[in-house]
A and B are shown apart, each in its own frame.
Chain A
Amino acid sequence: MCEGFMKRLFIFILTIFTGYSVVLAEGSLFGYDEIWQNQNNKPKKLQDFSETPFLISMVYTSCEHTCPVTISKIQQIKTLLGNNGIENLHVVLASFDDVRDTPDNLKKYMKKRRLSEKEWTFLSPKSQKVARELSVVLGINYKKLGEGNFSHSNVIALVDAKGEVIAKIDNLSKDIEVFKGALLAK
């Protein structure tokens, strides 16, 4: 209780003296507070990734064509940023597929693709409703087709520690230099 009080007091003082406000910045993704399950079946909100900037995209792991391309594109972005002194950028990949992409299956997929948990988090949605809301928040179009397939647009977004999207590509053939520019400008 004391700790909670001190925290509130601290925020109060911060608000008075620095104009810092606990109200989320305009359009911060952290206003979206749905709970997802990560590959270890732990509940996660976007805000849980707020310590450092991170990349976010949506995929479904049974996709044989574009999703591996999305992942390799993200790896290119990570390499580019790594070469410019920004290492170990975290990646959050949220799934469209509430049926097949269970935490267990996501974990298996990560092993198969050799994606370390230190740098990658996969998120499983509990329903289509949850996935739909995140897709709208991120500006991703998608449609559930038959037989566990999804048709979707490919968006990769770079989110800063406040939850603002500071760079984004909406097409996998777009130049990834925008990510470097956005992070180095920080």
Chain B
Amino acid sequence: MTGVFEFIFLIILGLSPSADAKLIQIPAGQVRAIWLASVKNDSTKNNEGLPRFPVKSFYMMDKAVTQFEYTQFLKKHPKWQANNVNKLFADKGYLDGIDFDVKFKSTPMTSISWFAARAYCDSLGMRLPSVNEWEYVAAASETQKDANKDPEFLKRILEWYGEPRTNGLKNVGEIYKNIYDVWDMHGLIWEWVDDFNSSFVTGESREDSSLNKDMFCGAGALSFGDKENYAAFMRFAFRSSLNGKSSIWNLGFRCVRDL
């Protein structure tokens, strides 16, 4: 009897669209914390004083979660449907403008809050990547693991950021595949990370410069490390402008899992 259930389960698994999202094993390594102040506090162009954080090996979805995949999730978890969702967990932009009628679309899922993205990953036994994990994978170009010093790569990212998006979002798996075989870490959408609220760029430059001690406990963190990498600075500024409910038309996500 159990065998029958297992068989049915395997069939369902085989048919489920999330089977399309391949999991890529990302090898362990170190991420150069381009977003932190240099340890030496050296304002020269040399980045070697930047702290490095170890990143353990983990699995990451090779593509961002699509609208179609999210539709499947909503069917099983009606509490995340737009009409039912607790207002603590999503703002007005949640699922706004998402065209759920178009099946098998490879449009990335966007207009989704941190809480909802997290619940989606949770439903697959996965989680959102940490800042460190995301930046570690995103540092890779087609040919290099750490292309954060490659001016060509950085230029390309900045061009993507500046591109007008009048025609809406492109499909997942169409921009570029990096050295790990992970698609579109830049150029498609912004992506949620689990600890998006862990950086301290407050948006008000007055506060950034003299990091208000009454506001923040703990030192370190807080002026930006790699002045050359403006694209990374933009990502951190963007993240720190978000709250958990923020649902934005070009902010999506992908999930990761521990080994």
Knowing A65-B217, A143-B221, say if A26 contacts B87 (CB, 8 Å). yes
Interface residue? A27 (CB, 8 A): yes
Q: Which of A26, A65, A136, A172 has the most CB of B within 10 A?
A: A136
For the complex, what is the distance from the CA of A26 to the CA of B243, rounded to whole Å?
Answer: 16
How far apart are the CA atoms of A67 and B216 in the complex, in Å? Answer: 10
Residues 135-182 of A at the B interface (beta carbon under 8 Å) = 135-137, 139-145, 149-154, 170-173
Q: What distance in Å separates the Cβ of A142 from its nearest Cβ neighbour in chain B?
A: 6
CB <8 Å contact, A153 and B86: no
Whether A142 contacts B198 by the Cβ 8 Å rule is: yes
Question: A141 CA to B213 CA in the complex, in Å?
Answer: 14
Q: What residues on B are CB-neighbors of A129 within 8 Å?
A: 127
CB distance from A154 to the nearest CB of B (A): 6
Within 8 A of B (CB), among A21-38: 24, 26-29, 31-32
Q: What separation, in Å, do the CA atoms of A129 and B220 have in the docked complex?
A: 23
Q: How many A residues are at the interface, by size bracket? A: 20 to 34
Separation of A140 and B42 alpha carbons in the complex (Å): 30
Query: B216 and A153: CB pair below 8 A?
Result: yes
What are the residues of chain A within 8 A of B86 when measuring CB–CB?
24, 28, 31
Query: Any chain A CB within 8 A of the CB of B194?
Result: yes
Contact with A along B216-241 (1 / 0, CB 8 A): 11111100000000000000000010
Residues of A within 8 A of B212 (CB): 171
- A103-146, CB < 8 A from B: 129, 132-133, 135-137, 139-145
Which of the listed residues A135, A139, A142, A145 has the most CB atoms from chain B within 10 Å of its own CB? A142
Q: Does residue B19 face the partner (Cβ distance < 8 Å to A)? A: no
CA separation between A63 and B217, bound complex, in Å? 9
Question: Do A154 and B243 form a contact, CB below 8 Å, given A132-B194, A141-B197, A143-B195?
Answer: no
Query: Can you name 27 A-B residue pairings with CB atoms under 8 Å?
Result: A28-B88, A31-B86, A31-B89, A32-B88, A63-B217, A65-B217, A66-B218, A67-B217, A135-B197, A136-B114, A136-B115, A136-B244, A139-B243, A141-B216, A141-B240, A143-B199, A143-B221, A151-B216, A152-B216, A153-B215, A153-B217, A154-B217, A170-B215, A171-B214, A171-B215, A172-B214, A173-B214
- Please name 10 further chain A to chain B contacts, defined as beta carbons within 8 Å, in addition to the given A31-B88, A154-B216, sorted by A numbering: A24-B88, A31-B89, A63-B217, A66-B213, A133-B118, A135-B197, A141-B197, A141-B200, A150-B217, A171-B215
Please report A residues at the B interface, Cβ cutoff 8 Å.
24, 26-29, 31-32, 63, 65-67, 129, 132-133, 135-137, 139-145, 149-154, 170-173
